[in-house]
Amino acid sequence: MRPLSRWNGSVTRPAVRRRWSVVLSATVPRIIVAPLAGVLVDRWDARRVMVVSDAVRALFYAILLIVLVCGSESSAVQYGASLIVLTIGNVSAQFFNPARGALMQVIIPAEQRVEAAGTSMFALTGVAMAATALGPVSYAVLGTVASISVCIGAYGISLSMTCLTTNRSIRAESSPAHFWSEFAEGFRTAWGSASLRMILIGVVLYGISLGINSTTLSLYGLKTLGLEPEQYGLLSMMFPAGNLVASILGVRLVKRYGRHRVYVLALMGLGIGYGIYGLARSIPVAFVSMFVCGTVFSLYVLCQGPILQEATPYGYMGRITAITTPVMALASIAGTVALSQALDLLIGHDSGSPVVNPYGTMIAIGAGCMLIGGSVMFAAQRRGGT
């Protein structure tokens, strides 16, 4: 398999190695650490796990800050320290995320879970948009030290908010068994529930498309549509803009038509939206379809969390939440590997291509996976009367 950097311009080998090191520091913990962390989270106090996770990340970013300010000026040392801190942060996140899911399951009333998911999506999207817009500016104007200080402050605020949260942890009814027995029980529980099985299938389908889109969306916008970088930045902002709209207006839609039905329809909608985006080869259509995809994705997330909380037995939320993380990561890797092989066939060794729109074609193939899979799931729902 040839590296994807071949289709993204020429880069030096050290740059490629550094890029892959960063990718691995984020991916490996999601595949290996996450499912193991889920077992431990179900054994431990969820709020305490969240507090410790934030404290660890704040501490190591503070150490990184000291290294950059007072330590060696060698770029290799600074890069190595940054990579270590990123890896520790990603490992710590694999404990924080399932602990957050376990705590939310017990402190949020069942009838308010959709509203809570909408509020969470609105806050998360708003902060993400602000960070995306202001992050590069603050880095360019204020420098590395100020940017890392902001990260430390953010983890400190998160830690403080968690400490103010009501502490309620519910263990599984059965007494703790052997670690690997509990580990296997999490997988059996996830696959044994129709609702959780639907979530896992949806995660796989979306993960495959995500693995394709993470590379091809930008290549399609910049090369096929011929957008300038600032224009592509505006195009990318349409997705979180759609998130914001749906996080406000989507709650009523989900409550009216049901979480399970909207979840599957949202998966199909993502397939249709990305398919139109990849095949239309029109800038106005690309902007509209990206906004629609953001809106539909928000509905997908609004349904996913409440379905997980409703279908997961108490004391299993850490394991079930942690299972979705490696499933998503593996599906995304599979999509990326398939993309690399397909682009090698479509583009070949020369600059020409037998396919007029190779990047859009790959986006459409990933979209087709979601559309077909979602259609099958919807048909099964109709037959089951759900």
What does DSSP assign to residue 176? Answer: P
Q: What percent of the chain has pLDDT over 90?
A: 45
For residue 173, name the pLDDT band (cuts at 50, 70, 90). low
What are the tens digits of pLDDT across the range 67-123? 888 876 777 888 888 899 999 999 999 999 999 999 998 888 888 889 988 888 888
Beta carbons of 210 and 336 less than 8 angstroms apart = no
Q: What percent of the chain has pLDDT over 70?
A: 89
- 210 vs 382, which has greater pLDDT? 210
Residue-level pLDDT at 230: 82
For the segment 17-22, the average pLDDT, to the nearest whole number, is 79
CA distances from 340 to 25, 346, 376 (A): 21, 10, 27
What are the tens digits of pLDDT across the range 244-299? 999 888 999 999 999 999 999 999 999 999 999 999 889 999 999 999 999 999 99
- Domains of the chain by range and CATH? 4-166+180-384 (1.20.1250.20)
Residue-level pLDDT at 365: 92
Beta carbons of 252 and 354 less than 8 angstroms apart = no
Nearest to 117 by CA among 233, 262, 247: 247
Instruction: Provide the residue type at 173 as one letter.
Output: E
Task: Examine the pLDDT at 214 and tell me if it is beyond 90.
Answer: no
> Which residue matches tokens 């962390």?
37
For the segment 310-314, the average pLDDT, to the nearest whole number, is 90
For the segment 122-140, the average pLDDT, to the nearest whole number, is 78
For the segment 357-362, the average pLDDT, to the nearest whole number, is 88
Return the H-helix or E-strand segment holding 31: none
Entry pTM? 0.84
Task: Examine the pLDDT at 196 and tell me if it is beyond 70.
Answer: yes
Q: What are phi and psi of 349, to 5 degrees?
A: -90, -15
Residue-level pLDDT at 340: 83
Mean per-residue pLDDT over the chain, rounded? 86
Q: What are phi and psi of 61, to 5 degrees?
A: -70, -35
Residue-level pLDDT at 1: 44
What does DSSP assign to residue 312? Answer: S
> Which residue matches tokens 């311009």?
9
Q: What is the sign of the dihedral through the CA atoms of 199, 245, 104 and 256?
A: negative
Task: Examine the pLDDT at 16 and tell me if it is beyond 60.
Answer: yes
For residue 242, name the pLDDT band (cuts at 50, 70, 90). very high
Beta carbons of 301 and 245 less than 8 angstroms apart = no
Integer Cα distance of 325 and 307 in angstroms: 16
For the CA atoms of 261, 291, 373, 215, the dihedral, rounded to the nearest 10 degrees, stands at -150
CA distances from 42 to 45, 150, 172, 304 (A): 8, 31, 8, 20
Integer Cα distance of 236 and 286 in angstroms: 10
Q: What are phi and psi of 84, to 5 degrees?
A: -60, -45
